[in-house]
């Protein structure tokens, strides 16, 4: 009975808005992001496509502040990520120009709290090899003080059933196939009930026959109304689940729109060129 | 193929024309390659080992009866206890110090990094015996230790000669030295943990302390353990230096007994040797199980314990004997 309550709660994660404003990022002299603007509406599934080195992964990592942008801001559900405003006096009637106050870097602890509301799934899974599958999923809610250990394990079991791994809770990650590991990683991201989940090429490290099981889990999330931002090379999958496809090249968004437009009738030469190579 | 099933068993009847896989071939056992070199080497080693043991047992120079007399003497055991105490305290304090130094060295603060680097540089440069003798004479240099503002008032002060017993001097000296080496061992271990682990922990928003204690450090311990045990064994032997700060450890006891009973120097040295061997062996056994514990998840299945190996070996042997008997 208590498990049913949990399921309801798991599904209840409030879908978040993600806003990326004029983000620039350099690695040394190399400019990776060159003024990216992106708005992801609550519950929307956004797929980011682009050639390798185009800045897709960096954009994703900027959203949860694994990378700090040199210029520009990211906000999730209206809350700036990695920075805070000090002396915001707009509500006191001071005009925006002076009233917005100064931007201050957030403390590491505050950034970690913000990250716990943003799920991230890595290309290489990055599961914790020394913890069992169950502990991998249960670790974050316990460590961040959101759930007791018992509750967290109950939730973890629940989530593992949801990704089809209810029978492997006691296994260690390296005893699982790549596809199973990635499904555990998705369950781990879900355990914090994030408002948005970012996927960084979730199927690129998998054998072809294992891609399907991971995509099925992501599809399940997409239909349950979670905000998803997915970097992938699976064009067919993008067409199937994306509300919006964003094509990035050279650190800029070249074009974006519903898959029927961007994938089937691309307006830009570079998009056409890219699609002809991957399709 | 079309052969009757009985043909597979009797090899002699119809030898196959060419070396193609056939039921006849499949029924034949492959004779293992003979390795005469291995047998010769085994014989040489056995002879040498026998000579060595024979020498140990029969040479009157070793005076095994005196060895038996000294081995469990209370004075020797007291010395052993001091060796164990000094080694245990220094091992724990040294490791803790090493962890702090390694974290400082890996931190983003340039000041902490510089402090850690300088400490390791200095303590690895100064011989342990010099550190110990310095500390021993410390109370002559500084009569009291006090906590306060530099050039200003002091809040607490300690009478150094009361604080610094020989034991404290020995443990502090060894720990200071040990921490410098442990710092590098721990730093190496932390660096060996995949960058993806740090990222995953950060992406989940795990608190900093939790990231280190539960995610990074347990994985680092896998490579820290063998290196630190190496260090620890060195430390156990370094404890023999505390003799110079007038602490009677195992070696110190043996040394002083040797000057009182000059005829027993060799058996006394043997007593110390055997005890050091026992300590190192005990540490190695602990190391095996600690390493096995931290291998959880790193390998698909854990390495077998000696008992499991023995059992598997016996099962193998039995199966082999049965097979040989059947042929």
In contact, B203 and A188? CB cutoff 8 Å: no
Whether A108 contacts chain B with CB within 8 A: yes
Q: Are B173 and B133 in contact (CB under 8 A)?
A: no
- Across the range A99-122, mean pLDDT stands at 89
pLDDT of residue A172: 94
Instruction: Say whether pLDDT at A84 is over 80.
Output: yes
Contact between B297 and A174 using a beta-carbon 8 Å cutoff? yes
Q: Is A66 exposed, middle or buried (0-12, 13-18, 19+ CB in 10 A)?
A: buried
pLDDT of residue B159: 65
By the 8 A CB rule, do A154 and A93 touch?
no
pLDDT band of residue B129 (cuts 50, 70, 90) is: very high
pLDDT-derived band of residue A239, with 50, 70 and 90 as boundaries? very high
Pairing between strand A45-49 and A244-249?
parallel
What is the end-to-end Cα distance of chain A in Å, rounded?
A: 47
- With CA atoms as reference, the chain B residue closest to A142 would be B206
Q: Which residue has the higher pLDDT, B117 or A99?
A: B117
User: Could you tell me how many CB contacts below 8 A there are between chain A and chain B?
Assistant: 80
pTM for this prediction: 0.82
Please give the backbone phi and psi of residue A255, each rounded to the nearest 5 degrees, phi first. Answer: -155, 160
Question: Closest Cα of chain B to A119: distance in Å?
Answer: 7
Indicate the pLDDT class of residue A10, thresholds 50, 70 and 90: very low
| Chain A contact present for B294, CB below 8 A | yes
> How far does the CA of residue A279 sit from the closest CA of chain B (Å)?
30
B265 touches chain A (CB under 8 A): no
Interface of A with B in 25-84 (CB under 8 A): 64, 66
Q: What are phi and psi of B318, to 5 degrees?
A: -60, -45
Q: How confident is the model at residue B1 (pLDDT cuts 50, 70, 90)?
A: very low
HSE-CB at B84 with a 13 A cutoff on CA atoms is 11
B84-127 pLDDT per residue, tens:
999 999 999 999 999 999 999 999 999 999 999 999 999 999 99
Residue B298 in this model has a pLDDT that exceeds 90: no
CA distance A197 to chain B (A): 11
pLDDT in tens, B235-286: 999 999 998 888 899 999 999 999 999 989 999 999 999 999 999 999 999 9
* Residue A46 CA neighbour count, 13 Å, CB half: 26
Which positions 212-241 of B are in contact with A (Cβ < 8 Å)? 214-215, 218-219
Residue B306, pLDDT > 90, answer no
Helices B74-106 and B217-238 meet at what angle, rounded to 10? 140
Identify whether the C-beta of residue A239 lies closer than 8 Å to the C-beta of residue A263. yes
Contact B300 A174 (CB under 8 A): yes
Q: pLDDT band at residue B128, thresholds of 50, 70 and 90?
A: very high
Please list every residue in chain A whose beta carbon sits closer than 8 Å to the beta carbon of residue B299.
174
| pLDDT score of B17 | 61
* Domain range summary for chain A, segments of one domain joined by +: 2-16+38-66+117-278
How far apart are the CA of B280 and the nearest CA of chain A, in angstroms?
A: 28
Dihedral Cα A140, A144, A145, A146, nearest 10 deg = -70
Please name the residue that has the structure tokens 């055997």: B274
What CATH superfamily classification does A2-16+38-66+117-278 receive?
P-loop containing nucleotide triphosphate hydrolases (3.40.50.300)
Give the pLDDT of residue B297. 79
Q: What are the extents of the domains in chain B?
A: 72-300
User: What Å distances lie between residue A249 and A61, A238, B73, B199, B326, CA to CA?
Assistant: 17, 17, 80, 25, 71
Q: Do B300 and A175 touch (CB under 8 A)?
A: yes
Q: Which residue of A has its CA nearest to B300?
A: A175
**If contacts are CB pairs under 8 Å, which of residues 186-205 in chain A contact chain B?**
188-189, 192
Put simply, whether B209 touches A (Cβ < 8 Å) is no
CATH of domain B72-300: 1.10.3720.10
Per-residue pLDDT for B12 more than 80?
A: no
What's the confidence (pLDDT) of residue B29? 80
* pLDDT tens per residue, range A243-267: 999 999 999 999 999 999 999 999 9
Q: Which of A108, A118, A126 sits opposite B200 (nearest CB)?
A: A126
Instruction: For chain A, say whether B293 makes contact (Cβ under 8 Å).
Output: no
Nearest to A66 among B203, B214, B219 (CB): B203
| Residue A50 CB neighbours (<10 A) | 24
pLDDT at A150 over 50: yes
pLDDT at B27: 78
Q: Do B202 and A66 touch (CB under 8 A)?
A: yes
Residue B186 clears pLDDT 70, i.e. is over it: yes
What does the CA dihedral A77, A80, A84, A85 come to, rounded to 10 degrees? -80
Residue of B199, B203, B223, B295 to mutate, interface with A, max A Cβ within 10 Å: B203
Neighbouring-strand partners of residue A169: none
Range 81-100 of B in CB contact (< 8 A) with A: none
B302 pLDDT tier (thresholds 50, 70, 90): confident
Question: Binning pLDDT at 50, 70 and 90, where does residue A11 land?
Answer: very low
Q: Which of A64, A115, A173 sits opposite B297 (nearest CB)?
A: A173
Runs of H (alpha helix) within B64-158: 64-71, 74-106, 110-125, 128-136, 138-141
Average of pLDDT values for A163-190? 95
Residues in chain B closer than 8 A to A126 (CB atoms): 194, 196-197, 199-200
Mean pLDDT of A58-79: 93
Contact residues on chain B for A115, CB-CB shorter than 8 A:
202-205
User: What is the b/e burial string over A126-138, where b = at least 16 CB atoms within 10 angstroms of the residue's CB?
Assistant: bbbbbbbbbbbbb
Q: What is the 3-state secondary structure (H, E, C) of B201-270?
A: HHHCCCCHHHHHHHHHHHHHHHHHHHHHHHHHHHHHHHHHHHHHHCCCCHHHHHHHHHHHCHHHHHHHHH
């Amino acid at each position: 009975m208590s498990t049913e309550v949990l399921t309801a709660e798991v599904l209840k994660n409030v879908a978040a808005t993600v806003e990326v404003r004029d983000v620039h990022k350099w690695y040394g002299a190399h400019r990776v992001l060159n003024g990216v603007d992106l708005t992801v509406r609550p519950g929307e599934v956004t797929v980011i496509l682009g050639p390798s080195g185009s800045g897709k992964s960096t954009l994703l990592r900027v959203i949860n502040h694994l990378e700090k942008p040199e210029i520009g801001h990211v906000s999730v559900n209206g809350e700036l990520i990695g920075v805070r405003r000090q002396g915001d006096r707009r509500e006191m009637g001071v005009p925006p120009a002076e009233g917005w106050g100064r931007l201050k870097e957030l403390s590491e602890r505050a950034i970690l709290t913000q990250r716990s509301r943003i799920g991230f799934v890595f290309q290489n899974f990055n599961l914790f090899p020394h913890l069992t599958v169950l502990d991998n999923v249960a670790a974050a809610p316990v460590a961040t003080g959101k759930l007791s250990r018992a509750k967290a394990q109950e939730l973890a079991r629940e989530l593992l059933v949801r990704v089809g791994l209810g029978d492997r809770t006691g296994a260690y990650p390296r005893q699982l196939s790549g596809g199973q590991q990635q499904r555990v990683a998705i369950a781990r991201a879900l355990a914090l009930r994030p408002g948005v989940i970012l996927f960084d090429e979730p199927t690129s490290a998998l054998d072809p026959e294992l891609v399907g099981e991971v995509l099925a889990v992501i599809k399940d999330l997409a239909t349950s109304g979670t905000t998803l931002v997915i970097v992938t090379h699976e064009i067919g999958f993008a067409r199937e689940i994306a509300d919006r496809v964003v094509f990035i090249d050279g650190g800029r968004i070249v074009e974006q729109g519903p898959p029927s437009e961007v994938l089937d009738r691309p307006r830009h030469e570079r998009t056409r060129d890219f699609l002809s190579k991957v399709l | 193929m079309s052969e009757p099933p009985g043909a597979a068993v009797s090899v002699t009847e119809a030898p196959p024309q060419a070396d193609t896989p056939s039921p006849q071939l499949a029924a034949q056992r492959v004779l293992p390659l003979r390795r005469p070199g291995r047998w010769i080497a085994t014989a040489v080693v056995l002879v040498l080992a026998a000579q060595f043991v024979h020498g140990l047992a029969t040479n009157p120079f070793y005076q095994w009866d005196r060895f038996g007399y000294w081995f469990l003497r209370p004075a020797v055991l007291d010395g052993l206890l001091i060796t164990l105490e000094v080694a245990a305290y220094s091992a724990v304090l040294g490791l803790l110090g090493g962890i702090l130094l390694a974290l400082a060295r890996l931190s983003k603060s340039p000041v902490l990094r510089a402090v850690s680097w300088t400490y390791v540089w200095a303590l690895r440069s100064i011989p342990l015996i010099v550190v110990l003798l310095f500390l021993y004479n410390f109370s002559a240099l500084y009569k009291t230790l006090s906590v306060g503002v530099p050039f200003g008032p002091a809040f607490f002060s300690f009478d150094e000669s009361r604080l610094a017993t020989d034991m404290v001097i020995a443990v502090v000296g060894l720990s200071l030295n040990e921490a410098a080496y442990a710092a590098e061992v721990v730093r190496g271990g932390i660096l060996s943990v995949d960058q993806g682990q740090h990222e995953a922990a950060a992406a989940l928003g795990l608190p900093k302390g939790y990231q280190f204690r539960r995610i990074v450090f347990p994985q680092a311990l896998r490579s820290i353990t063998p290196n630190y045990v190496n260090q620890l064994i060195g430390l156990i032997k370094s404890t023999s230096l505390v003799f110079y700060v007038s602490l009677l450890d195992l070696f110190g006891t043996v040394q002083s007994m040797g000057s009182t009973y000059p005829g027993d120097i060799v058996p006394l040295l043997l007593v110390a040797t055997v005890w050091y061997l026992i300590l190192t062996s005990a540490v190695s056994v602990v190391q095996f199980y600690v390493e096995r514990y931290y291998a959880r998840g790193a390998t698909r299945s854990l390495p077998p314990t000696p008992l499991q190996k023995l059992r598997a070996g016996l099962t193998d042997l039995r199966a082999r004997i049965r097979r040989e008997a059947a042929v």
